[in-house]
Amino acid sequence: MPSYTAPITDSRFILDAVLGLDTLAARGGAFAGATSDVVAAVLEEAGRFAAERLFPLNQSGDREGCTRHEDGSVTTPTGFREAYVAMAAGGWTTLGAPEAVGGQGLPAVVATVVSEYFSAANHSFAMYSGLTEGAVEAILTVGSDAQKSLYVPPMVAGRWTGTMNLTEPQCGTDLGLIRTKADPQVDGSYRISGTKIFISAGEHDLTENIIHLVLARTPGAPAGSKGISLFIVPKFLVEPDGTLGPRNALSCGSLEHKMGIHGNATCVMNYDSAIGWLLGEENRGLAAMFVMMNAARLWVGVQGLAQGEVAYQNAALYATERRQGRALTGPAEPDAVADPLLVHPDVRRMLMEAKALTEGLRALCLWGALQVDLAHHGQSDKEKQDAADLLSLLTPVIKGYGTDQGFHVAVMAQQIFGGHGYIAENGMEQYVRDARIAMIYEGANGVQAMDLVGRKLPAEGGRAIRLFFETITAETGEARAAGGEVAALADALDKANGQLQAATVWMMQHGLARPDNAGAGAYAFMHLTGIVALGLMWLRMARAAAERLAAGGGDTAFLTAKLTTARFFAERLMPRAGALRREIEGGADAVMALPAEAFLPNA
C-alpha cells in the first residue's frame, strides 16, 4: 500500500531558512499574515488533510475514473465529492485569494506549499480547485468590477469551479487557429458556438456551477492570434443577485480516455449558442489568457515536483523494507536473510538523485512563487521589477525543467520497485502516468523552452538573465568568502553558471543570426538553466544548513543531510551542464538538414 506524508520539515526549512519568510512577515502588509506560527499551523493542517482525505482517494480514483452519463453529466470517482466539500469547508480554496473576495490573503509562496501537498496526495483531485485559482486570477486581472463581484467570491469559496477553454481539434499550441465563434447580442452578451477539447474539469458533480473561460473570435476579428477574445461562459447563468439562473447551452460531449489523471474529467465541450460575456478587451483574449496560463505554469511545475515527491517517498520506504542481495562491502545485516535494498549503491544513486531533484525543485518552485508576491507587494519599484523579471524568466524553467525532472524521478522511483513497480496495486506506475501529463499541458515543454529562449531571454535587452547571473555571482562570492564546505559548492555552481553564460552568449549571437539555432538549442538551454537554478537553490540550502549547524540550532540530522545532498547535486548532476552547452553549440545544421521524406519509414 502506498503512503504519503507531507514534507513539512523541508517546506518550512525552505520558507524560513532559505527564503526568509519570517523576516518578510515582519514587514507587515501583504506578508503580515505569514508569521512562522501561522504558517506552521497551516502546513500541519494541510499536510494532514492531504494525507488523510485526498491520498486515500488517489488509487481508487485512478481505477474508477470519471463517468459521463447520457444526459452529459459527469460523475467523479467515489469520495471526490465529499472530499471536495470538506476541502471547501476547511477554507483550503481561499488561502491565497485576496481578502476582498473572501480569501485569506496569504502569500502565494505559502499557498504554493499547500498546492504541492494536495497535488502529491491526489493530482487529479487537486486539478479541480487548481484550475479555479487560475480562472479567478484572470477575472481579477482583466474583469470588470461587476464580473469580479459576481463570479469570484463563490469560486474562491469553493462553491463554483473554473476552467480554461483553449484547445480545439485543429489547434493546440497555435491558438491563432481557433474557430469558436462569439456573436455579439444587443444586450451586450455574446453567443458562443464551437467545440473545445481537452478541457480539464469541464464537467463534474463537485459544485453547483462551473465558470468556463473560453477563447473565441468575434465577427470580423483579425486573423490569427490578434483576433481572439476571452469570454466568461457559466454552466448555469448567474442572476445579478448571485443566484443560479437557467442552464446555459453548453455540454460535455464525451470524456477522453487517457494515460493517467483518470480522476479528472477531461472533456470535449460543445458550445451551442451558449451565452457568454466578454472578459477584458475584445481581441486581447490571448493576453488575458496568459495571465491565467502563467500562474498555471508555475502550478504545473509544482505538480511535477509533487508526483516526484510522492513516488520518491514510497521508493525510499520500499528500499528500507525490501530485502534483496548483500552490500558490496559484505553483509550489512548478517542475521537477516538479505540486506535492505538501500545498501546497494545504484539504489542509493536513484534515491539521492530523487532527493536532490525534489528538494531542489521545491526550493525553486517556492522561490518562483515568492517572486509572485514580491512583484505585487515589493517594498520598492526595484524589488517589484526584479521579482517580475525573475518570475518571467523562471516560469518556463519551473514548468519545463520541473516537470521533466518530476517525471524522471517518478520513473526512477518505479524502477527501485523492480517488477513490483510495474504492478498497478503498488501505486508506483500511477505516479509515472500522472506525472507524464505535466510535461504536456499548459504549453508542452518544448513550447516552454521556446518561451525561455525566444521571449524571456532577449526581453528588455536580457535584463532578467543578467539579474539571474548577478544573483549567482554575488551569492557564490559570499559563500566562497565564508569558506568551508559551501565554498566547494560555490565553485561548482560558478562553473555550471559559466557554461550557462557561454551558452547565453552563443544563443544571442547565433540565434539572432539564424533563428533555427535558437530553436534547436532551446530545450537543452532550458535544462541548463534548470541545473544552474537548482544549483543556486542547493547553495542557498547548504549555506542555511551550515549556518544553523554552526549556531548549534535545529535538527542536526536534517541539516547534515542537506549538506550531503547539496554535495551530491554538485558532484553528480551538475556536470551535465557542460554537455548541454556543447549540445546547444552543436547548432541547427544537423537538426534541420533532412528533407521531410527522410523521416518516413523505409525512406
**Residue 466 phi, psi (nearest 5):** -65, -40
The stretch among 27-35, 85-93, 208-216, 337-345 that binds its own copies (CB under 8 A) is 337-345
CB of 545 to its own copies, least distance (A): 13
Which region, judged by CB under 8 A, interacts with its own copies, from 202-210, 360-368, 386-394, 406-414? 406-414
In the complex with its own copies, the residue whose CB is nearer, 35 or 324, is 324
Contacts of residue 538, defined as CB under 8 A and 6 or more positions apart, other chains included, come to 356, 360, 363, 489, 493, 565, 566, 569, 570
Q: Which residue has the cell 455579439?
A: 184
Minimum CB–partner distance for residue 249 and its own copies (Å): 25
Site residues for its own copies, window 506-545 (CB under 8 A)?
Answer: 515-516, 518-520, 522-523
- CB nearer to its own copies: give 4 or 31: 4
Return the residue of 2, 103, 340, 535 that touches its own copies, per CB under 8 A: 340
429 near its own copies (CB under 8 A): yes
3-state secondary structure 24-41: HHHHCHHHCCCCHHHHHH
Nearest distance, CB of residue 293 and its own copies, angstroms:
15
* Residue 558 lies near its own copies (rule: CB under 8 A): yes
Number of residues that bind its own copies (CB under 8 A): 112
Return the number of the residue (487 or 594) whose C-beta is nearest its own copies: 594
- State yes or no: residue 495 binds its own copies (CB under 8 A): no
Buried b (16+ CB within 10 A) or exposed e, 122-158: bbbbbbbbbbbbbbbbbbbebbeeebbebbbbbbbbb
**Cβ atoms of residues 432 and 311 within 8 Å:** yes
3-state secondary structure of 49: helix
Among 27, 247, 349, 455, binds its own copies (CB under 8 A): 349
Q: Please tell me whether residue 465 binds its own copies under the rule CB under 8 A.
A: no
Residue 81 and residue 206 in contact, taking contact as beta carbons nearer than 8 Å: yes
Pairing mode, strands 244-247 and 160-165: unpaired
Residue placing its CB nearer to its own copies in the complex, 105 or 172: 172
The answer to whether residue 336 forms part of the interface with its own copies (CB under 8 A) is: no
Distances (CA, A) of 145 to 148, 152, 279, 288, 295: 5, 10, 11, 16, 21
* Residues 486, 16: Cα–Cα separation, whole Å: 19
Does residue 5 interact with its own copies by CB under 8 A? yes
Q: Report yes or no: 536 and 408 within 8 Å, Cβ to Cβ.
A: no
Least distance in angstroms from the C-beta of 391 to its own copies = 23
Do 309 and 356 form a contact (C-beta atoms < 8 A)?
A: no
Identify the residue among 41, 100, 424, 487 touching its own copies (CB under 8 A). 424
Q: How far is the CB of 559 from its own copies (least distance, A)?
A: 11
389 binds its own copies (CB under 8 A): no
**Cβ atoms 238, 209 nearer than 8 A:** yes
Q: 39: number of CA atoms within 13 Å, CB side? A: 28
> Does 488 interact with its own copies (rule: CB under 8 A)?
no
Q: Of the listed pieces 257-265, 458-466, 502-510, 536-544, which binds its own copies according to CB under 8 A?
A: 257-265
Window 83-112: residues binding its own copies (CB under 8 A): none
Q: Is 282 a catalytic residue?
A: no
Burial of 423 (0-12, 13-18, 19+ CB in 10 A): exposed
Tell me, residue by residue from 197 to 236, as one string, x for binding to its own copies by CB under 8 A and - for no binding. xx--------------------------------------
- Please tell me what DSSP assigns to residue 329: T
Please tell me whether residue 551 binds its own copies under the rule CB under 8 A.
Answer: no
Contacts of its own copies in 562-591 (CB under 8 A): 564-565, 567-568, 571-573, 575-579, 582-583, 586-591
Q: Is residue 316 near its own copies by the rule CB under 8 A?
A: yes
Of 142, 216, 265, 351, the one binding its own copies by CB under 8 A: 351
| 415 lies in the binding site for its own copies (CB under 8 A) | yes
Rounded least distance, CB 536 to its own copies, Å: 19
Query: Closest by alpha carbon to 206, among 87, 116, 62?
Result: 87
Of the pair 229, 414, the CB lying nearest its own copies is at: 414
Q: Answer whether 212's CB lies under 8 Å from 234's CB.
A: yes
List, in sequence order, every residue forming a beta bridge with 232; answer none if it has no partner: 213, 277
The dihedral sign for the CA sequence 526, 530, 532, 533: positive
Name the minimum Å distance from CB 381 to its own copies.
35
User: Least Å distance between CB 281 and its own copies?
Assistant: 24
String of contacts with its own copies for each residue 35-64, x by CB under 8 A: ------------------------------
> Which of 137, 168, 442, 583 is the catalytic position?
442
Q: Which three cell numbers stand for residue 109?
A: 509562496
Q: Which of 313, 358, 504, 529 binds its own copies (CB under 8 A)?
A: 313
Residue 439 as a binder of its own copies (CB under 8 A): the answer is yes
* Residue list 157-186, contact with its own copies (CB under 8 A): 167, 170-174, 176-177
The DSSP output letter for 273 is: E
Instruction: Give the whole-angstrom CA distance, residue 121 versus residue 208.
Output: 25
Q: Is there a contact between 422 and 416 (Cβ–Cβ < 8 Å)?
A: no
Could you say whether residue 350 binds its own copies (CB under 8 A)?
A: yes
Catalytic residues: 442
